[in-house]
Structure 1
Amino acid sequence: MPRKAELTSADLNDIRQSALGAADPLGVAADLAGAVESGRLADPRDAGLALTLAAEIAESRTKLDAALRYVERALEAYEKRDDSQVAAARALRARILFRVGRESEAIAELEPLRPLLTEYPDAAAYITSALVVAGRGREAEQWLTEAVQRALAERGAAEPASADDAGLLFFLLQQRHRLRHALGLPHDTHDNLAERLESKLAGATARTAEPAGDLLFWSQAEFGRMVARWPALTEAYGATWDEHRARLESELFRLTGAGRTDLALLPGSVTGLAAHAGTDGDPASAESRAGYANRLAAGTAKIGWPPERNAACWCGSGLKYKKCCLPRSRG
């Protein structure tokens, strides 16, 4: 990733989406910190955000000492601000503290954030993931349950008519529902509400939305067939199979950081996509690919992620995960 003379807020957003798949993500993190030090941010108020992003990148590469330094500098840069970015940075610091074995400090950082679950959806994902990383999944579920109950009480008795109408409540319900699924807990009324709202949202967007991150996975052989038949799809899936795998690994890790715990890859095939599109459809269109991904997601032929470090890699290369796709995004 080339070094820019000045980093805008849009640049920071682009880096957040692409840094983990970069050739040298730690170099990207160092450049972000350097941009803060040298005044290369177009908006100096982005200093805390840039340093938080550097911390996330370093954490993803298991450079935890560097990650902790970056996030503590981020909190210093935020000074007296009190908003979702600050809460997210504090939860990130707690997550890193858990990972380096400083549990009491991590809990002390997290506890004051507990009431903020109903205020800041971005921070809610970080708070939840911090507890999950620490093996405190049931505690995270309890915190989210309390937050859902508060949000429902604030709305009154009426059930939301749509995901948009539910707002923050929908986000909390999703977080809780996915976590409970990962913990093997039975459905309750809140889970049922989450599924109803998700169904309404899917119905409203099925014809226009492309899957976030598009977790369709093309094996090496299918990737070659796909590119030969629809060359334009290299823009969506990567120019090479290596790039395709790196994009997927980076997206999966990003979703994990956002609190997702039920992740899986959807193995696609040229024949399957063409059959889904039918004779009148365009298999390469975003609509066809989204529909195909949704169909695969509803089936059982999925590849769970992540595998154990010493287990066979999810991509089917035959190599161990730690020697294959894991280093593509986090080392």
Structure 2
Amino acid sequence: MPTKETITSADLAELRRSALTTADPLGVAADLADAVDHDRLASPEDAGDALSLAAEIAEFRNRLDAALQYADRAVAAFPSPSDPGAGFATALRARILFRIGGRDDEALEAVTALRPLLTEQPDAPAYVSAALDAGGRSALAEEWLSEAVDNLLGARTTADVGPAEAPGVAFFLLQQRHRVRRDLNLPHDRQDDLADRLEAQLTRGVESGEPDLLFFPKAEFDRLDTLTDTFGPDWDAHRATLEKELVRLAEAGGSGLHVLRASVAGLTGYANRNDGDPSAPNIRRRYAEELEAQPGAHVSWPPERNGPCWCGSGLKYKKDCLPRSRS
């Protein structure tokens, strides 16, 4: 199934959400690889992400040999192991190797190299533990995550870690450790209590009216229907809310800021899977956490003043969303 002649970063993000529901997902995977081979990517630096997505699709359809070929290429496509997305591609490759069988040592060596990322990248705890789980090593994942929590928090007590840390590495590390321990039926410990406390604090922050960073492109915003009560009466107001929040976070010392490209189908699908209301703060927050683990969903902020605006309008940032922070 062919995709567009030229595939943009936004197209990749949409395909990540929709490819598995198409009539021919494996055709989408093959076309993504073809786009890399024949310079059909609008941004050549998206090659690693495109091949990772192809590998995920093939793995989901249990075409493990094809998935491994795509994953090998994805790992090689990133210029540096520290490049965003390179760790995910490496973990994906390890996961596939575990599932193929007979290559467990190679898989474990690959995922072991990712251990330092557990305290450096918010999405690393999820993809590292997923790889180990595929190899039947959930207990090892719990050991690694626990050691990473100890290293990150050091001698601090639960009282020393506040909600300001919740959106960062500490929060996602604690939450993933909590999930792994729950799956292993391990007793609740001090760090599990901290994970629950941070989640409760973050939920209260959302419920108190602090805006989340879910961004709906124009075509998606037009499909929101009754959810405009949640995300803004119109697209201009939606973008203005996000721009002001990003400015606030930057002024508070935030770095590496981004919004999360969302879709109506993605949000409502997440709500349906979890028996929730898509307008509920806890559902929005957890959907945002799901997107946070997908590098293709990140829209970096801020762009250059004379560069294209982050919202995808095609206008220069200085002529579009930048002034919204002052309105």
**Band the TM-score falls in, shorter-chain normalisation:** 0.5 to 0.7
AA aligned to 2:69 is R
Measured at CA, do residues 84 and 142 of structure 1 come closer, stay the same or move farther in structure 2, by a change above 3 Å? farther
The whole-number CA distance in structure 1 between the counterparts of 2:158 and 2:196 is 18
Taking only aligned residues, the RMSD between alpha carbons, in angstroms, comes to 3.3
The whole-number CA distance in structure 2 between the counterparts of 1:15 and 1:107 is 29
For the residue of structure 2 that corresponds to 1:176, the secondary structure is: helix
The whole-number CA distance in structure 2 between the counterparts of 1:264 and 1:189 is 32
Measured at CA, do residues 182 and 264 of structure 1 come closer, stay the same or move farther in structure 2, by a change above 3 Å? farther
* Equivalent residue, structure 2, for 1:238: none
Contact in 2 for aligned 1:7/1:42 (Cα 8 Å): yes
* Equivalent residue, structure 1, for 2:53: 53
* Residue correspondence of structure 1 range 193-212 to structure 2 within 5 A: 193-206=194-207
Deviations 1:138-167, CA, capped at 9 Å, x for gaps: 110000001111110287886222154562
* Equivalent residue, structure 2, for 1:159: 160
* Equivalent residue, structure 2, for 1:172: 173
* Residue correspondence of structure 1 range 1-331 to structure 2 within 5 A: 3-101=3-101, 102-153=103-154, 159-162=160-163, 164=165, 167-206=168-207, 265-266=273-274, 286-287=278-279, 290=280
CA displacement at 1:18 relative to structure 2: 1.6
List structure 1 runs of 4+ shifted beyond 3 angstroms: 154-158, 163-166, 206-210, 263-268, 291-294
AA aligned to 2:63 is K
The whole-number CA distance in structure 1 between the counterparts of 2:190 and 2:167 is 16
Deviations 1:157-209, CA, capped at 9 Å, x for gaps: 86222154562001000000011111111110000000000001111213668
Measured at CA, do residues 166 and 155 of structure 1 come closer, stay the same or move farther in structure 2, by a change above 3 Å? farther
For the residue of structure 1 that corresponds to 2:188, the secondary structure is: coil
For the residue of structure 1 that corresponds to 2:160, the secondary structure is: coil
Contact in 2 for aligned 1:163/1:200 (Cα 8 Å): no
Measured at CA, do residues 127 and 291 of structure 1 come closer, stay the same or move farther in structure 2, by a change above 3 Å? closer
TM-score (norm 1): 0.63
The whole-number CA distance in structure 1 between the counterparts of 2:269 and 2:92 is 18
Contact in 2 for aligned 1:88/1:126 (Cα 8 Å): yes
TM-score (norm 2): 0.64
The whole-number CA distance in structure 1 between the counterparts of 2:283 and 2:40 is 41
For the residue of structure 2 that corresponds to 1:89, the secondary structure is: helix
Measured at CA, do residues 192 and 157 of structure 1 come closer, stay the same or move farther in structure 2, by a change above 3 Å? closer
CA displacement at 1:3 relative to structure 2: 1.9
The whole-number CA distance in structure 2 between the counterparts of 1:194 and 1:96 is 30
The whole-number CA distance in structure 2 between the counterparts of 1:44 and 1:8 is 10
Measured at CA, do residues 17 and 54 of structure 1 come closer, stay the same or move farther in structure 2, by a change above 3 Å? same
AA aligned to 1:134 is G
Structure 2: tracts of 5 or more residues without a match: 215-224, 228-264, 285-327
For the residue of structure 1 that corresponds to 2:93, the secondary structure is: helix
Contact in 2 for aligned 1:163/1:170 (Cα 8 Å): no
The whole-number CA distance in structure 1 between the counterparts of 2:122 and 2:46 is 19
Alignment: residue pair count: 235
AA aligned to 1:44 is P
**Aligned sequence identity (%):** 51
CA displacement at 1:23 relative to structure 2: 2.1
The whole-number CA distance in structure 2 between the counterparts of 1:132 and 1:180 is 12
Contact in 2 for aligned 1:72/1:93 (Cα 8 Å): yes
Deviations 1:103-147, CA, capped at 9 Å, x for gaps: 111111111111221112223211110111111111100000011
Measured at CA, do residues 122 and 107 of structure 1 come closer, stay the same or move farther in structure 2, by a change above 3 Å? same
Measured at CA, do residues 34 and 118 of structure 1 come closer, stay the same or move farther in structure 2, by a change above 3 Å? same
AA aligned to 2:107 is A
Structure 1: tracts of 5 or more residues without a match: 213-231, 235-246, 253-262, 274-285, 295-331
The whole-number CA distance in structure 1 between the counterparts of 2:72 and 2:273 is 35
The whole-number CA distance in structure 2 between the counterparts of 1:30 and 1:183 is 37
The whole-number CA distance in structure 2 between the counterparts of 1:90 and 1:71 is 8
For the residue of structure 1 that corresponds to 2:89, the secondary structure is: helix
* Equivalent residue, structure 2, for 1:279: none
**Structure having greater relative contact order (Cα 8 Å, sep ≥ 6):** 1
